[in-house]
Amino acid sequence: MANVLIVDDAKFMRLTLSNVLKKLEHTVVGEAENGIQAVEMYKTFEPDLVLLDITMPEKTGIDALREIKEFDPKANVVMCSAMGQQKLVVDAIELGAKDFIVKPFDDNRVLEAITRVLG
């Protein structure tokens, strides 16, 4: 199964995604709470997939995505967004995000996004 990095400033959201991933037998290799940590952890762990929140303190998900894609153009990143962030989702897709999931998370939609991205 896949090694996954979860990035969200809300611990509850990281826990929710972690629980879904474990049910699907994926391994959570790290959890980051901001974009700075996300980029550092990506470079350290080089995960198969990143679930990346768009809105975070210190460095946004969009900025982290840009840096991750510069480091590894083949990075598999799925953006996590709240309702009403369509413009940011479009920006993320243009920067190379492979999919997006909307909060609050639906387990089936998370599974669908992971399956589509990892093939």
User: Which residue type does 55 have?
Assistant: T
| CA nearest neighbour of 47 among 20, 79, 74 | 74
Question: From the CA atom positions of the chain, what is the Rg in Å?
Answer: 12
Sequence length of the chain is 119
pLDDT tens track for 14-62? 999 999 999 989 999 999 999 999 999 999 999 999 999 999 989 999 9
Domain region containing 87: 3-118
Mean pLDDT for the stretch of residues 1-17: 95
Residue 62: other Cβ atoms inside 10 A: 20
Give CA separation, 36 vs 73, 102, 106, in Å: 18, 22, 27
- Please tell me the total count of domains within the chain: 1
User: Which residue type does 20 have?
Assistant: V
Yes or no: say if 92 and 100 are a contact pair by the CB < 8 Å rule: yes
CATH number for position 96: 3.40.50.2300
Task: Between 117 and 24, name the one with better pLDDT.
Answer: 117
Alpha carbon 10 to chain centroid distance? 13
